[in-house]
Structure 1
């Protein structure tokens, strides 16, 4: 395999492809799986890690194009196995590049940063392309030994860069040639907009992380004059009320937005106001253990003023039609059973035992 032979005709090239492509198919798959596992373990966010081996049609076309320039053989082709890492933001591209450098042997002479090639005054397709092999150490592992010396290409790009590449190259629109002036201008403006959006997403991500760190520090300093947000709620319960052992998974989805809306309607629109009510209530009442943040906050609002909760919040939010006996018993710390039964009956709320679920 991969032995240097005298190949002169298209048929010769086709035979070479048929006899040599199978290892590259396996190589592309194992590299993609290895990269995906490493990204997860390093907690680097990504959209996808697709992979492919070069098709025979693409292989033959590249050979034909290259032979018009210089003497070129199939052994010179470095992208018979291709892997693409699509990240969410630009900041993660650098993390991925460092990871690749630590995992594989990079052929720097064949690798390229398309952004650097564009320079300062041009916009367009941007991506980092690495040509690698598995390296001497990894090649000693049984699962990689069959791929020793074989090259593969890894492209690293953001989701927006990927979208641009799909439009410009992979979907066959071929917009890079000569266009009428008015279309060419729109084409360049679109490229610039995508690049600007990529940079802005990256800045926003950094600023959100900085905001989260700032709130965390302020919580430790007991300075809580912040608008109520999902980030603020998570930091408050993770840092100041960690002993309540509340589950915070719902804060990352639509349920978190529902909770923020309910707290605002109740009049708790800052971390400071919420914190004061939590401190006052947990000193007065015994809350349920191992609850969710959503459940805790609803219990909090009801124990503060159950009539206000049902008038201001419940009817305007997404009404819940049932609650467990633990919530009912929790509320009896403040309200009489007759009062609770009247309110729950009025709003068609069913109280169930755990065995009834």
Structure 2
């Protein structure tokens, strides 16, 4: 960082900004990229890692505000380069904070947890702010060596906290930073609702993880009295039916909902019922390998009762209208070709080679 010089006038401050802001632009970008890569490698979920350098207008205002309180120089400003880490849920905030402490040299005296400053009886802006430098180890790397004397600020918050901060900054400051009392009260009530939603999302995530673990343990013990869910379908095939050699065990929301709807219409509404049907079917027929969960379950329902599947479960061309020769050949193990052809014609099912 440049050595401190005495700045007396507004023009002096402006010139300092013009002559010194460029390195902070590069610093903000490289820190954001480094954090994002580290989050990915540590498998910590996040929404985004935006970055920015302080604008000249914001810089000038902060200098003027600080100088009115005490002696203050541009070098004292720790947020000329700013990075935000936006997470999905509250529990990920702590994971990010722990990671940041291992990556950079944190200036504890300048860092703050806004939630702790609010206390237990207030609601409002919540975020964790770190003031850092790159640290002794990282500053030895060529890409960081130019920034070894610079500070930067990292803010860590959830998506809901971020949304609230943006709304509060944009809407609140348009009235000079203070709203009329009756509007301010509603503003704070809304902040409390968002904080409650954040906590509930976090609790739900924990409970879903616990449910997934409990379900996994139950499947291992062949206790399958669970309603059909995408988590249950994935774990059933992943843990109990590896021999089917299915691919694409992940079920997107849309595909998962479609499949569960089709199974329910076919009167399969629990993992136990599905498990029984699978065991019965694979004892009689050899199913296609390298199929998906969706494809396998549709083959299963059709081989059990093709008429019932198309009358009750098939949702028309919006669901599917194309199949492959392997599925057709599989169905001939139970049905006559004339019967299959008649059904496929009625429901406008086309047979197409996979590579076409």
Q: Output the TM-score relative to the length of structure 1.
A: 0.96
Question: Partner of 1:4: helix, strand, or coil?
Answer: coil
Contact 2:85–2:154 at 8 Å: present in 1 too?
yes
Corresponding position of 2:292: 292
1:152-190 C-alpha deviation (Å, 9 max, x unpaired): 000000000001100111456457954433223212211
Change over 3 Å in CA distance of 1:344–1:142 after alignment to 2: same
Question: Partner of 1:11: helix, strand, or coil?
Answer: helix
Contact 2:107–2:131 at 8 Å: present in 1 too?
yes
Report matched runs for 1:139-150 at 5 Å: 139-150=139-150
- Deviation of 1:250 (Å): 5.3
Contact 1:262–1:317 at 8 Å: present in 2 too?
no
Corresponding position of 1:331: 331
* 1:98 and 2:98 aligned: yes
Report matched runs for 1:128-139 at 5 Å: 128-139=128-139
Change over 3 Å in CA distance of 1:244–1:234 after alignment to 2: same
Cα separation, 2, equivalents of 1:119 and 1:60: 31
Change over 3 Å in CA distance of 1:173–1:62 after alignment to 2: closer
Corresponding position of 2:59: 59
Cα separation, 2, equivalents of 1:326 and 1:240: 24
Corresponding position of 1:42: 42
Question: Partner of 1:131: helix, strand, or coil?
Answer: strand
Cα separation, 2, equivalents of 1:311 and 1:115: 57
Corresponding position of 1:10: 10
Corresponding position of 1:304: 304
Question: Partner of 1:68: helix, strand, or coil?
Answer: helix
Provide runs of 4+ in structure 1 moved above 6 Å. none
Question: Partner of 2:36: helix, strand, or coil?
Answer: helix
- Deviation of 1:253 (Å): 2.6
> Structure 1: 5+ residue runs without aligned partners?
none
Cα separation, 2, equivalents of 1:331 and 1:124: 62
Corresponding position of 1:208: 208
Contact 2:172–2:179 at 8 Å: present in 1 too?
no
Corresponding position of 1:183: 183
* 1:262 and 2:267 aligned: no
> Structure 2: 5+ residue runs without aligned partners?
none
Corresponding position of 1:108: 108
Cα separation, 1, equivalents of 2:81 and 2:250: 41
Corresponding position of 1:230: 230
Question: Partner of 1:156: helix, strand, or coil?
Answer: strand
Contact 1:246–1:292 at 8 Å: present in 2 too?
yes
Contact 2:54–2:81 at 8 Å: present in 1 too?
yes
Q: How many residues align?
A: 356
- Deviation of 1:197 (Å): 0.4
Cα separation, 2, equivalents of 1:262 and 1:206: 29
Cα separation, 2, equivalents of 1:279 and 1:88: 40
Cα separation, 1, equivalents of 2:171 and 2:88: 21
Cα separation, 1, equivalents of 2:173 and 2:269: 50
Question: Partner of 1:129: helix, strand, or coil?
Answer: strand
Q: Output the TM-score relative to the length of structure 2.
A: 0.97
Cα separation, 1, equivalents of 2:354 and 2:267: 32
- Deviation of 1:251 (Å): 1.2
Cα separation, 1, equivalents of 2:172 and 2:154: 21
